[in-house]
Structure 1
Amino acid sequence: MRISRISVRNFRSLQSVEFEPGSFSLLVGRNNHGKTNLFEAMDWFYSPKGNLEEIRNVAGDGADVSVEIEFSGAQAGISNISNVENRQKLRNILGESDTLIVRRTSQDAKNRYIFNPKKVDWQRQPAGVDSAFNNCIPRFEFILTGKSLKEVAAYKSTTPIGQLLGGVISEALEQDAQYIEFRATFERLFQSPDSNVRKLLERTSESVRTHLAMQFPDCKALEFSVDIPPFEEFLKNYTTRLDDGVVTSAESKGDGMQRALMLAIIKAHADARRDEALGRAFIFFIDEAELHLHPTAQRQLKSVLLSLAQETDQVFLTTHSSVFLADNHYLQTPFVVEKEDGNTSITAMNSRSRARTVYELLGGSPTDLLFPANFLIVEGPSEAELLEGICSRLYPDRPRIHVVPANGDDERQAQYLAALMKAFAPLGDSPIYRNRVVILFDHPTGAEKAARLATFLREKPALERNNQVFILPTEGLEDYYPRTLREQFQNLRQKVKLARNISKAITLEVFERDMPVVHQALIACWEKAHQ
């Protein structure tokens, strides 16, 4: 049983999000754009906690919080439920359907509801206590960025290592000859009538009984005894040591090693519990799994996590790692997580958005880029947004070019020619792109900018000879948009948002007819691209 669809409404920044994850889902986005909110929404679905008013989307105006999960492979999953009664109840609800849809809402946050395909209606889950229903669906493992090795490796009944060691080892010891001998020795030492310890306990208990009888004369006897402690008590004092040439405790290792060990313990725990649960699947939600890891270690970790997804488990990762994203795999489904006007969206990446995301994860500098067919350098993010959208929608079969916005540290710097020169420098010095890269300038505003542009072109005469330079007839892209589209979106003041809407609305005919300089720049970029 796996998650085939996730729908979240009004949970923090997730006002209305729905997407279809794969076996190995990567969620990539900038900080504070809502990636962790999705994981916490899933945590709330499995075990509701927290103040509803704190998790409710502020723009929702009191609307219900809801998390709806669709599981595929329901029939196979039901067969792995250990409770026979619950197994039959679920089959009665689903019939022959292989899809299980479960919802939790703020209207009745203590309970979850299942969609009944025969009645076309929702009904309360049939397992009784809400927490018991978690045994009917894949087990949820949520690993936040801030979770430490100590939280995972400490021996408690609730930690992975506690459940792993306590259940597996104690069962094995019951048949172990040395452990049986240890128990017998313990009984002779503490419980045999002839042992000195036993005699001392009896003298102490009689002394205490005498004093107690002065207050309660009916007290005839008092006994102190020492029972053999359960095996779990011994494990509370265990330590973890690693030998990588020098034997040291795990807690003294660096952050990278500690995080790798933590994930290894969780995977071992999943393997053990899966055997215990007759094939029951796990769903891992891991927040920034690459944290503190060298790129080589990141690749090794990704390989381990992919091995989970190749079997019965499902893996969700939030990441800022270009390694996780650039190394593609057939099980991998990447998603872009973005927040605009306080609301998060989650959309599947295509090849173009994947290339741009890798570029941004590498730091957003052309010196760090992988190798697209060619580059088109533009003045700012609005130009990049427009051209990326137009290329993706209107010219999907053309060579894949990368549009580089020449903005600096803030949006104002995008207005200066110096930013374009800075963006061109690493590409102009590269023999791979020197005669291929194309630059699209806004028309210079004022004598100073016109002079700088003339100097730049005079110092690099090959650019004009090779048809690598194009200059808009207007002082900004916004003034070059077709008049009808400017009027259609006249209320949009934010330049990037306007560019995004224009790229979605403009037709091929209108673009090539009304924006000929931009079109010619694209043609030159495609013609000079590596084939």
Structure 2
Amino acid sequence: MQIVNVDIKNFRALKNVSVPIEKFSVLIGENDVGKTSFLIALETFFGVKKLSSSKDWYKDETDVDISIVITFKSFGDCDLIQPFLRDDGSVVINKLFKFNQNATWQAELSDNTVLTVPSNVQSKWFSSDNFHFIPVRRDLNIQFSMNKAAMLGKLLRARMKIAIEEQGSRTQLEEVIAVLRESLTEPRLDIEAFLREQLNNESFKVGFDELTIDPTEGVKFSISLSDDRASNINIEDRGAGTQSNLIIALFRLIAKTNVLGTFIFAMEEPENSLHPKAQRQLLSVIQEISENTQVIVTTHSPVFIDRSKYESNVLLSRTIQGNTVSRSFRADELSSVRDDLGIRASDALLKGGGNCALLVEGNTEEESFPTFLEMQGLSEFRLGIALINIGGSDNTKTSLIVDLLNSYDIPCVIVLDNDAQGTKSELEHRMAAGGLANIREIFVLSKGTIEDYFPPSIALEVFNSEFQPDPPLTDSDFDPNWSGDARISGYSALLWNRAKMGSKERIKQVLGAKGARLMQKNGDSLDPEIIAIIDKVNDVVEKSG
């Protein structure tokens, strides 16, 4: 099951808004535009029977019905849902609230007729068992409990159900308790391993304390955290950063186990209290989860704007009349949105660890080098490095960035295009005069630009898949003499003629992200020059530690 669109009327800050939703959706916008109201509306749809507070109504107008209409798809083969399918295979459910009355459920069919949704369909597909919302004010003691509304509780109950079913007809209470205890051990150890990696602390331990399994009271426990500085500290008493890392670990556990089945996640500002590097790690985890489970987040962080798939992002804004409107994201809005959200240059600049900064010229490098590192058995997170897009090879700008890094004692490696020999010479002149002491090496790509290091077959497959040119591109469309800017210009001209997509920056982003992943999937080898850059970064990191 997957949400494809949500229409909300008269709920909290939302008078009338329609929001398209993808498998992984990122809702962005200024404060007080209705992002939280949107997520609470989803929670209300799945888990609330009656609304009795005027605060839930837009401008307290309780004489007007609240309507939450959600369009779903991908139910699979389910007899219960068949009567409500529209001609296009979707299901449209309208949940209507009158003040202080039980909500009514209606399915809207293609011919505009309306059917009442029976309770067994509601409980099977549209209950709190199918949806989980984590607000920005996270109560970790609730989220990490066996509470029915707790994320960990839902996961562990699913695992325990599987464990019990695998035992067949065994009915001895002692045996059931033993099975339940064993089913809890692996998740605890997984969470512990994830936290050790994320916090770079091998002494970290997770305890499921005071574990009791009772046939009438159910399963109860509390979670404590220990390391080489403190023992058995309740999660509520740990810092906000540690608590957020615990959420990341739980998300990673869900991605690993994939036992929840039909489930939708919603999370408010997942980046809260996280360093930008940890934000990128969380984004990667959430994207992994979204391969099997729909995920919806709200954010103020540009890290969560997945630039390789702009349609995943929805911009919420408020009109001068006070109504919230949504717009599907467009590539040319990225810079203005960052400005509107108040993201400073330094927030995007110092986005990683201090062991080494890898400075690159553009989007292709920024998108591809994390995967290139993985192809060499490395990770930007484990290395503790910052990957910084300096936006070209301007000598003055590059020098300022290097100076900024130097003020934090961060060594750096610089990768420039072949046409930036002059910038390299100017930087080396400053180094010879005693400046820019934190530069460890400057690489100039001999082939031209980073795009020249992607095999043509990779570019061909990526472009045909992502942009769907008509007719599709073939090997003969690529000039074997292309290099550097001529290559990107050639790609741009082809895609503009056949797909009306000629944005060079968009092409670079897609080639960097999708192309690198495809190379990794195919088991392709990196060019020796790229390997040399990665080896140098690794060497700098090792020497810094």
Q: Given the two structures, how large is their TM-score scaled by the length of structure 2?
A: 0.50
Q: Work out which of the two has the higher radius of gyration on C-alpha atoms and give 1 or 2.
A: 1
Aligned equivalent of 1:6:
6
Question: CA 1:143 to 1:284, structure 2 compared with 1: closer, same or farther past 3 Å?
Answer: same
Give how far 1:353 is off.
Answer: 2.1
Q: Cα distance 1:163–1:43, how it changes in 2: closer, same or farther (>3 A)?
A: closer
**In structure 2, what is the equivalent of residue 333 of structure 1?**
312
Seen in structure 2, the aligned counterparts of structure 1 residues 246 and 352 have a Cα distance that, compared at 3 Å, is same
**CA separation of 1:3/1:244 partners in 2, compared to 1, >3 Å: closer, same or farther?**
farther
Q: Is the 8 A contact 1:2 1:72 kept in 2?
A: yes
Q: Which residue of 2 aligns with 1:114?
A: 107
Q: Which moved more, 1:156-165 or 1:256-265?
A: 156-165
Quick one: which amino acid aligns to residue 18 of structure 2? E
CA contact (8 A) 2:311 2:329 kept: no
Contact 2:4 2:71 in 1 (8 A): yes
Identity over aligned pairs, percent: 25
- Listed as ranges, the matches of 1:85-104 within 5 Å are 87-94=78-85, 97-104=88-95
- The verdict on how the C-alpha distance between 1:331 and 1:245 changes in structure 2, with shifts beyond 3 A counting, is farther
2:53 pairs with 1:42: no
2:284 equivalent to 1:303: yes
**Structure 1 residue 61: Cα displacement:** 8.3
The equivalent of 1:314 in structure 2 is 294
Residue 148 of structure 1 corresponds to 139
Secondary structure at 1:259 match in 2? helix
Displacement of 1:103 in angstroms is: 0.8
Q: Residue 350 of structure 1 aligns with which residue?
A: 330
| Contact 1:299–1:324 (Cα < 8 Å) also in 2 | yes
One-letter code aligned to 2:326: I
Query: Does 1:139 pair with 2:130?
Result: yes
Q: C-alpha displacement at 1:35, in angstroms?
A: 0.8
Relative distance call for 1:171 and 1:312 in structure 2 (3 A) is closer
Per-residue CA deviations over 1:266-324 (Å, capped at 9, x if unaligned) read 5645765x536xxx332211001011111111000000000012x22111111111222
- The residue matched to 2:54 in structure 1 has which SS? helix
Structure 2 vs 1, CA of residues 242 and 356 (structure 1 numbering), >3 Å: closer, same or farther? Answer: farther
Task: Give the Å deviation of 1:232.
Answer: 8.1
Query: Letter of the aligned partner of 1:302 in structure 2?
Result: L
Q: How many residues align?
A: 315
How many angstroms does 1:149 deviate by? 1.0
Q: Which residue of 1 is the match for residue 56 of structure 2?
A: 55
Which residue is 1:125 aligned to? 117
Structural mapping, 1:415-434, within 5 Å? 431-432=396-397
C-alpha contact (below 8 Å) 2:310/2:331 kept by paired residues: no
1:15 is paired with a residue of what secondary structure?
A: strand
* Unaligned 5+ runs, structure 1: 80-86, 187-227, 371-428, 434-531
The equivalent of 1:249 in structure 2 is 233
CA distance, structure 2, for counterparts of residue 367 and residue 258 of structure 1: 25
What SS is found at the alignment partner of 2:33? coil
1:160 aligns with 2:151: yes
Residue by residue over 1:61-85, the C-alpha shift from the partner in whole angstroms, topping out at 9 and shown as x without a partner, is 8432111111122xxx142xxxxxx
**How far off its partner does 1:53 sit?**
2.8
SS of equivalent residue, structure 2 residue 318: strand
- Partners of 1:245 and 1:170 in 2: CA distance: 37
Q: Is residue 130–residue 264 contact of structure 2 (8 Å, CA) maintained in 1?
A: yes
2:65 alignment partner AA: D
- Any conservation in 1 of the 2:30–2:340 contact (CA below 8 Å)? no
- In the alignment, what sits opposite 2:484? none
Q: How many angstroms apart in 1 are the aligned matches of 2:3 and 2:162?
A: 33
Aligned to 2:214: 230
The answer as to whether partners of 1:359 and 1:368 remain within 8 angstroms in 2 is no
Name the amino acid aligned to 1:112: W
Residue 324 of structure 1 is matched in structure 2 by 304
State the TM-score, normalized to the length of structure 1.
Answer: 0.51
Cα RMSD of the aligned pairs, angstroms, is 4.1
Give CA-to-partner distance per residue, 1:414-438, whole Å, 9 cap, x none: xxxxxxxxxxxxxxx99459xxxxx
User: In the superposition, relative to structure 1, how do residues 170 and 243 fare at CA in structure 2: closer, same or farther (>3 Å)?
Assistant: farther
Q: Mapping of 1:338-417 within 5 angstroms?
A: 338-340=317-319, 341-363=321-343
Judged with a 3 Å threshold, the aligned counterparts in structure 2 of structure 1 residues 41 and 149 are, in CA distance, closer, same or farther, namely same
SS of structure 2 residue aligned to 1:275: coil
Letter in 2 for 1:32: D
Tell me the amino acid that sits aligned with residue 79 of structure 2.
Q
Q: 1:257 to 1:165 in 2, by over 3 A?
A: same
Letter in 2 for 1:24: F
- For 1:352, what is the secondary structure of its paired residue? helix
Q: Secondary structure at the match of 1:145?
A: coil
- Render the CA deviation track for 1:162-211: whole Å, top value 9, x for unaligned: 344455348748969xx979679x9xxxxxxxxxxxxxxxxxxxxxxxxx
Relative to 1, partners in 2 of residues 1:349 and 1:164: Cα closer, same or farther, differing over 3 Å? closer
Question: Secondary structure of the residue that 2:317 maps to in structure 1?
Answer: strand
Q: 1:131 to 1:233 in 2, by over 3 A?
A: closer
Instruction: Identify the match of residue 264 of structure 2 among 251, 258, 283.
Output: 283
- Residue of structure 2 in register with 1:529 after alignment: none
Q: Which amino acid aligns with 1:346?
A: S
Measured in 1, the distance between the counterparts of 2:114 and 2:229 equals: 59
Q: Counterpart of 2:259 in 1: which secondary structure?
A: helix
Aligned amino acid, residue 305 of structure 1: I
Residue 126 of structure 2: SS of its match in structure 1?
Answer: helix
Q: Deviations over 1:492-512 (max 9, x none)?
A: xxxxxxxxxxxxxxxxxxxxx
Unaligned residue ranges in structure 2 (runs of 5+)? 179-211, 350-393, 399-545
Residues in 1 aligned to 2:218 and 2:8: alpha-carbon distance in whole angstroms: 44
Between the aligned partners of 1:141 and 1:96, the Cα distance in structure 2 is 29
Deviation at 1:55, TM superposition (A): 1.6
Matched AA of 2:151: P
How far residue 361 of structure 1 moved from its aligned partner, in angstroms, is 3.4
- Alignment counterpart, residue 259 of structure 1, candidates 238, 241, 244: 244
